[in-house]
Chain A
Amino acid sequence: MTAMDTNKAKTGVFSAGRALITDRTLRTDKWWIQPLITVGVFVSFIIYATFRAFEKQNYFAEPLISPFYSPCLSTVCVEGSAHFGTPIGALSIFGMVISPALFILIFPLGFRLTCYYYRKAYYRSFWMSPPACAVAEPHKKYTGETRAPLILQNGHRWFFYAGLVLNIILTYDAVIAFKNPEGEWGHMSVGTLVLLANATFLWLYSASCHTCRHTIGGRLRNFSAHPVRYKAWTIVSKLNHYHPNFAWVSLIGVAFADFYVRQVASGAITNFYFF
C-alpha cells in the first residue's frame, strides 16, 4: 500500500489511521428530512419572490402596499405607491424597465443570506457541508468562511442596519393601513392586520439577530459596568434563542403579506374592513 497516495485520496472519515468503516454515515434515523424540507421551503419562496419581483404590478391597493415593493422609489411605481418620493427615477437595461422591487429586495436578501441561522440552514441543505451531523460531506476541500466570497458573511451587521431602516418603513406601511381607500384615518381591515403581523415578525427577527445581541451588549467584557445594556442583552438573548423560529415565521409572513396585497390589488378578493 502506498501510504502517501492513499492519504491524499482518502480524507475525512476514510483517512488512514481512523477506524476502517466504509459507510459515509451509520446514522439510522431520517437525517435527510430536515435538509429536504429546508430546500423545499427555500425553493418555493425563491420562485414566488422572483415571479413577484418581475411582475411589476398588483403590489399596491390604497392604502396597502406589498412588502416586496416598499418603499417604491422609482417613477414607474403605480400612482400613489411612492410614499417616499422617486429618487431613483426609472432605470432600464436593454429597454426593459428595472422592477422597483429589485432595488429594495437586495437588502432583505443580503440580510437573510448573511444571517447566522440561514447560513446554517443553507450550508447544510444546499451545500451539504455537512448535510447533517456525522454524515460525511461530499466535498474534497473545505475552507469555511475564511476566503472570498464567504468571508463577506462578516458584513452581516451592515445588512442588519439596512434591515432596521426597512422595518421602520414597513411599520409605517402598517400604520397607514389604518386609513380607508379614500385616505381617511381610523379604519381597519384584514390588510391592516396582515401588514401589522408582517412588521411585528420582522421586528422580532431583527431583534433576535445575533448581531443585535452582540451590539446591544454582547461585545462588553464588564456587564456590571453597563447595567442597562446588560438588561437589554438578557432580553435580546432570550429572543435570540428563538431566532430560527422568527426567521421562518417572518419569511412566510412577508410572502403572505405580499400575496394578500396581490390578491386585493388584482381584484381577486376585496379587502374586508372591520370599521
Chain B
Amino acid sequence: MTRKIKMRIWRGNSETGSLQDVSVDANEGEVVLDVIHRVQATQMGDLAVRWNCKAGKCGSCSVEINGKPRLACMTQMASFAEDETITVTPLRAFPVIKDLVTDVSFNYKKAMEIPSFEPPADLKPGEARMQQIDVERSQEFRKCIECFLCQDTCHVIRDHEENKKSFAGPRFFIRIAELDMHPLDMLRNRKQKAQEEHGLGMCNITKCCTEVCPEHIRITDNAIIPMKERVVDVKYDPVRWLGSKIRRREEVL
C-alpha cells in the first residue's frame, strides 16, 4: 500500500539553510531512508544524505527525525501516525557540510586521544589466553557501530560547543571502560586520564546516550558509572588510596 506523506527536510550548508516541505510516496514496510532516497530521486536531485549498509550496521545514516537522533535506515515509516509530518534534520551537535550530512571528524580526533591497548611486554602474538567471563563486559562495548548518535545527543557538547575540547563523549567512555576492564591491559592510569583528560566528570549521567544507542549498549550503567566508581577508587576515596599505596592492590585485581 502506498500513501502520500508530508516531510520537512533540512537543506543548506554551514552558512545558511532551512526546513523544506515535501510530499512524497511511502510504501508499506519502508524506512525513513527509503523515503529520503525517493525524494532524492524524484524531487531534490542534489539532496545530500550519507548512508551505506541500510541494515543498521555501518552507522552512516545518523540524522535527527522529529528531533530525535536516530538511524534513518532503522526508523520504520509505520512508526509514525498517518497524518504526521516527519521532520528530518542533520545531527545538531556537529558542523553541517551539506543538507543531512555533517562533519563528524570531532569523534575521530577524540578516538586518537585515547591511549590504545597495552598488552604485557612479554606476551608474544597468539599467546594471550583469557576466559569468557573476563571479556564479556568489554564485548558489550565492541557492539558499537560508531554512528555517533550518543555523541550527538550528549548535552555536554550538544549544548556547549566550548566543552568539545575537554570532553571525549560517551562513545569514548565505553572505549576507555572496555580497556580498563580488560584483564590484559597494562596501562595503569586510565582512570586518572579518564577524569583529568577525557572529561568523565563532565558527564552528569543523565543517560541520553543510552536512550539513543541503536545497539542498545547500556553506556551509562555499564561503562560510565563503573568508570566513575573506578575514578573514585583512585582519586576521591582516601581509604582505598591509602590501601593501594600500602599493598599495591591494583596489580592483583
Give residues in A with beta carbon < 8 Å to B: 7, 11-13, 15-21, 25-29, 116, 119-120, 123-124, 129-130, 133-137, 139, 141-146, 150-151, 154-157, 210-211, 213-214, 218-224, 230, 240-241
Kindly provide the distance from the CB of A228 to the nearest chain B CB, expressed in whole angstroms: 13
CA distance A224 to B135 in the complex (A): 10
CA distance A143 to B160 in the complex (A): 10
A220-B253 contact given A12-B158, A120-B206, CB 8 Å threshold: yes
CA distance A214 to B162 in the complex (A): 32
4 extra interface residue pairs, beta carbon distance < 8 Å, beyond A26-B66, A116-B225, A221-B181? A12-B158, A19-B17, A123-B205, A214-B229
Kindly provide the distance from the CB of B209 to the nearest chain A CB, expressed in whole angstroms: 9
* B202 engages A143 (CB within 8 Å): yes
| B155 CB contact (under 8 Å) in A18, A120, A130 | A130
| Residue on B nearest A141 in the bound complex, by CB | B160
Question: Interface digits, B67-96 against A, CB 8 Å rule (1 contact, 0 not)?
Answer: 111000000000000001001011011111
Residues in A neighbouring B159, C-beta threshold 8 A: 11-13, 130, 136-137, 139, 142
Residues in A neighbouring B64, C-beta threshold 8 A: 26, 134
* A224 engages B201 (CB within 8 Å): no
Whether a CB of chain A sits under 8 angstroms from the CB of B19 is yes
Whether a CB of chain A sits under 8 angstroms from the CB of B40 is no
* A210 engages B221 (CB within 8 Å): yes
Residues in A neighbouring B230, C-beta threshold 8 A: 214, 219
* A133 engages B208 (CB within 8 Å): yes
A119-B204 contact given A12-B159, A154-B232, CB 8 Å threshold: yes
A-B contact count (CB 8 A): 164
Residues in A neighbouring B156, C-beta threshold 8 A: 142, 144
* A134 engages B69 (CB within 8 Å): yes
CA distance A157 to B235 in the complex (A): 13
Top 7 A-B pairs, shortest CB-CB distance: A27-B67, A26-B67, A144-B202, A133-B208, A214-B229, A17-B95, A12-B159
CA distance A224 to B64 in the complex (A): 42
Kindly provide the distance from the CB of A223 to the nearest chain B CB, expressed in whole angstroms: 5
* A224 engages B208 (CB within 8 Å): no
| Residue on B nearest A130 in the bound complex, by CB | B155
For the residues of B in contact with A, the DSSP-based class is mixed
| Residue on B nearest A241 in the bound complex, by CB | B221
Residues in A neighbouring B229, C-beta threshold 8 A: 157, 210-211, 214, 218-219
- 10 A-B pairs within 8 Å (CB atoms) are namely A13-B92, A13-B93, A18-B93, A20-B17, A29-B66, A120-B205, A144-B203, A156-B232, A222-B134, A222-B183
| Residue on A nearest B95 in the bound complex, by CB | A17
Whether a CB of chain A sits under 8 angstroms from the CB of B16 is yes
* A133 engages B153 (CB within 8 Å): yes
Give residues in B with beta carbon < 8 Å to A: 10, 12, 14, 16-19, 64, 66-69, 84, 87, 89-90, 92-96, 102, 131, 133-134, 153, 155-156, 158-163, 181-183, 199, 201-208, 211-212, 221, 225-226, 228-233, 235-237, 253
* A20 engages B69 (CB within 8 Å): no
Residues in A neighbouring B206, C-beta threshold 8 A: 120, 123-124, 129-130
* B162 engages A11 (CB within 8 Å): yes
* A154 engages B95 (CB within 8 Å): no
CA distance A211 to B221 in the complex (A): 11
Residues in B neighbouring A136, C-beta threshold 8 A: 155, 158-159
| B92 CB contact (under 8 Å) in A21, A141, A219, A224 | A21
| A17 CB contact (under 8 Å) in B69, B96, B232, B237 | B96
Residues in B neighbouring A210, C-beta threshold 8 A: 221, 225-226, 229
| Residue on B nearest A140 in the bound complex, by CB | B160
Residues in B neighbouring A27, C-beta threshold 8 A: 66-68
* A20 engages B12 (CB within 8 Å): yes
CA distance A75 to B84 in the complex (A): 66
Residues in A neighbouring B87, C-beta threshold 8 A: 26, 28
CA distance A256 to B63 in the complex (A): 46
CA distance A15 to B166 in the complex (A): 17
Residues in A neighbouring B221, C-beta threshold 8 A: 210, 240-241
CA distance A155 to B235 in the complex (A): 11
A11-B204 contact given A19-B12, A26-B87, A219-B253, CB 8 Å threshold: no
* B161 engages A154 (CB within 8 Å): no
| Residue on A nearest B131 in the bound complex, by CB | A224
* A26 engages B89 (CB within 8 Å): yes
* A119 engages B95 (CB within 8 Å): no
CA distance A28 to B67 in the complex (A): 7
* A157 engages B237 (CB within 8 Å): yes
Residues in A neighbouring B92, C-beta threshold 8 A: 13, 18-19, 21, 134
| B95 CB contact (under 8 Å) in A18, A116, A222 | A18
* B158 engages A219 (CB within 8 Å): no
